[in-house]
Amino acid sequence: MLFDTHMHLNARQFSEDQKEVIERATDAGVTKMVVVGFDEETIPLAMEIAETYEHIYAAVGWHPVDAIDYKEEHLEWLASLTEHPKVVALGEMGLDYHWDTSPKAIQEDVFRKQIGLAKELDMPIIIHNREATADIIRILQEENASEVGGIMHCFSGTVADIQPCLDMNFYISLGGPVTFKNAKEAKEVAKAIPLDRLLIETDAPYLAPHPYRGKRNEPAYVKLVAEEIASLREMDYETICEITTKNACDVFRIK
């Protein structure tokens, strides 16, 4: 049993073969998934997928890359969507200093507003972080995000960055990069995360694991992430599957 905690089957890359991709994931042992919507285009598609497939849940949020397009009514829209029983988290939200599309101050404002909404609704949050670890941790601390906790999606921090996240009630999710041969830090992180806070994901169609690096990622490949972590920690693959699935159900409050 595998749980892909973060993927984007609502992306255009899957418009032709979405059903087949889901079937391949099931064949690989992926019994649960969360599809993440992060703007006006992808959120309705995430909701549609979650309503169509019993084993797929949705998360909804506003991506930092698109913070420049954020309007106040978007927060009300997100709040209304969380009333749906298949919506299990708010996000992804956070900071992205790689793509120069939204000014940092605007990204931070939209991020803080979503954390505030999550606290009002008592929902876990999913954090997007690209080249902004220190600011992400600072804002989460300032906003008392520990009240809701959540997931550090596709964690790219160092071993030293793990503890501040754990202290705020966050789980650490690893994806394809942990399988890359030159990813020394990611492999050290995979060995350092407490087992009761470890999650796995694909972020499909992005960040495909070895040996598919550079190609379209898909949820079935979360198996390769689990296998790599099991190898790094010298544990049984089945145990890693069991632990990460339980953790995902805990954070998303899925029975």
Model confidence over 2-18: pLDDT tens digits? Answer: 999 999 999 999 999 99
> Distance (Å, rounded) from C-alpha 152 to C-alpha 170?
7
Q: Name 79's bridge partners.
A: none
Model confidence over 130-175: pLDDT tens digits? Answer: 999 999 999 999 999 999 999 999 999 999 999 999 999 999 999 9
Q: Name 127's bridge partners.
A: 93, 152
Model confidence over 181-206: pLDDT tens digits? Answer: 999 999 999 999 999 999 999 999 99
Domain count, the chain: 1
> Distance (Å, rounded) from C-alpha 53 to C-alpha 158?
36
> The CATH number of the domain where 27 resides is what?
3.20.20.140
Please list, residue by residue across 135-149, b when 16 or more beta carbons sit within 10 angstroms of its beta carbon and e when fewer do.
Answer: bbbebbeebebeebb
Question: Which range marks the domain in which residue 33 is found?
Answer: 2-252
> Distance (Å, rounded) from C-alpha 125 to C-alpha 89?
6
pLDDT category, 100, cuts 50, 70, 90?
confident
Contact call for residues 66 and 74 (beta carbons, < 8 A):
no
To the nearest 10°, report the CA torsion of 74, 79, 84, 87. 80
Angle between helices 104-121 and 72-81 (to 10 degrees): 30
* Identity of residue 70: Y
